[in-house]
Amino acid sequence: MGAEGHADGTVGKALDVLDMVARHGRPLRFSDLLVQSDYPKATLYRLLQTLTHQGMLTLDPDQGTYALGVRLVRLAHAAWAQSSLAPIARPYLDELAEKTGETIHLAQMDLGQVLYVDKRNAARPVEMFAQAGKVGPAYCTGVGKAMLAWLHPDQLDQALARQSFHRHTDQTLDTPEKLMAELQAIRARGHAFDREEHEKGIICCAVPILTRSGRVLGALSVTSTTARTTLAALEEQAGLTKDIAARIAAEAESWRFPEQN
């Protein structure tokens, strides 16, 4: 088990435990955690104590179960507020959503996975926390491929190593080779498509958000269904989407020199 990475040091282990609690949606007992982790009893116990004492976990004394603590929520608030893109991008997402009438995703890269940090739903209003924070695969989503395509070679290697290449649909690019070829095409074209590679019937057109120096900040996608539109139609929005992406990038970059003299 323990598909987790090389846990460096004590804090690595502690965070590993945190993830373990986070993964299962529900409060867990000590023994539940014990069987999953390959840490010995006493070690795990101490880690849990520390995390609890630090407010990262909460121990429900009635049930004897551990859940993620409130300190995380507080940190998250700060994380979201300062995680470069999300707060800056807000008005631009609104604009893009309004102009296209489609679902918009704003994503960033998280250790080879795609992390959705904001979203505009075609139908209903926002509902932030409930949807942001989700993760998805990189190799078979529009935003994922858009980011991979412009990633620094080193980081790309790392990211590729973390892809499962599970065949979600019969369109899924299920080998590194196929994906590399696709990334090449994406770079040439300037934007990425999702041709129902992740979910049957879901298509999208995605563009990267890049700094002037070419670093990948995130990606932006316009998503729809085959029932409602076609890839070709979505591609017509690519220009607008790129424009918005550029404006987000510009603002993100200019936004870096607050007080220091």
Of the candidate residues 1, 3, 42, 81, the single one contacting DNA (CB under 7 A)? 42
Strands (DSSP E) contained in the chain are 28-29, 57-60, 65-68, 103-110, 113-120, 135-137, 192-195, 202-210, 216-225
Strands (DSSP E) contained in 122-215 are 135-137, 192-195, 202-210
Instruction: Write the interaction track for DNA spanning residues 184-223; mark x where CB under 7 A is met and - where it is not.
Output: ----------------------------------------
Of the candidate residues 64, 91, 101, 190, the single one contacting DNA (CB under 7 A)? 64
CA 33 to chain centre: 26
Question: Are residues 69 and 56 in contact, defined by beta-carbon separation less than 8 angstroms?
Answer: yes
43 touching DNA, by CB under 7 A? yes
Q: Among DNA, a second copy, none, what does residue 241 contact (CB within 5–8 Å per kind)?
A: none
Residue ranges in 54-172 assigned as alpha helix (H): 70-82, 85-100, 128-131, 142-149, 153-161
Stretch that binds DNA, among 3-11, 104-112, 117-125, 176-184 (CB under 7 A): 3-11
For 32, 45, 51, the CA distances from 48, given in Å and listed in that order, are 13, 5, 5
Task: Give the shortest CB-29-to-DNA separation in angstroms.
Answer: 4
**Of 94, 74, 140, 81, residue with least CA distance to 113:** 140
Stretch that binds DNA, among 41-49, 116-124, 159-167, 241-249 (CB under 7 A): 41-49
Of the candidate residues 45, 68, 71, 187, the single one contacting DNA (CB under 7 A)? 45
Task: Give the shortest CB-209-to-DNA separation in angstroms.
Answer: 24
46 touching DNA, by CB under 7 A? yes
Task: Supply φ then ψ for residue 167, to 5 degrees.
Answer: -85, 90
Question: Are residues 149 and 137 in contact, defined by beta-carbon separation less than 8 angstroms?
Answer: no
Q: Among a second copy, DNA, none, what does residue 30 contact (CB within 5–8 Å per kind)?
A: DNA
Question: Are residues 160 and 178 in contact, defined by beta-carbon separation less than 8 angstroms?
Answer: no
User: Where in 230-259 is the site for DNA (CB under 7 A)?
Assistant: none
Give contact residues for a second copy (rule: CB under 8 A): 8-12, 14-15, 18-19, 22-23, 25-27, 29, 32, 47, 50-51, 53-56, 58, 61-63, 65, 67-84, 87, 108-111, 115, 117, 125-130, 132-135, 211, 213, 215, 256, 258-260
Task: Give the shortest CB-61-to-DNA separation in angstroms.
Answer: 9
Of the candidate residues 13, 71, 90, 215, the single one contacting DNA (CB under 7 A)? 13
**Alpha-carbon gap, residue 165 to 183, rounded angstroms:** 15
CA 4 to chain centre: 17
Question: Are residues 106 and 118 in contact, defined by beta-carbon separation less than 8 angstroms?
Answer: yes
158 touching DNA, by CB under 7 A? no
Question: Are residues 106 and 91 in contact, defined by beta-carbon separation less than 8 angstroms?
Answer: no
Task: Give the shortest CB-24-to-a second copy separation in angstroms.
Answer: 9
Q: Among a second copy, DNA, none, what does residue 84 contact (CB within 5–8 Å per kind)?
A: a second copy
Write out the residues near DNA by the rule CB under 7 A.
8-11, 13, 29-31, 34, 39-43, 45-47, 64
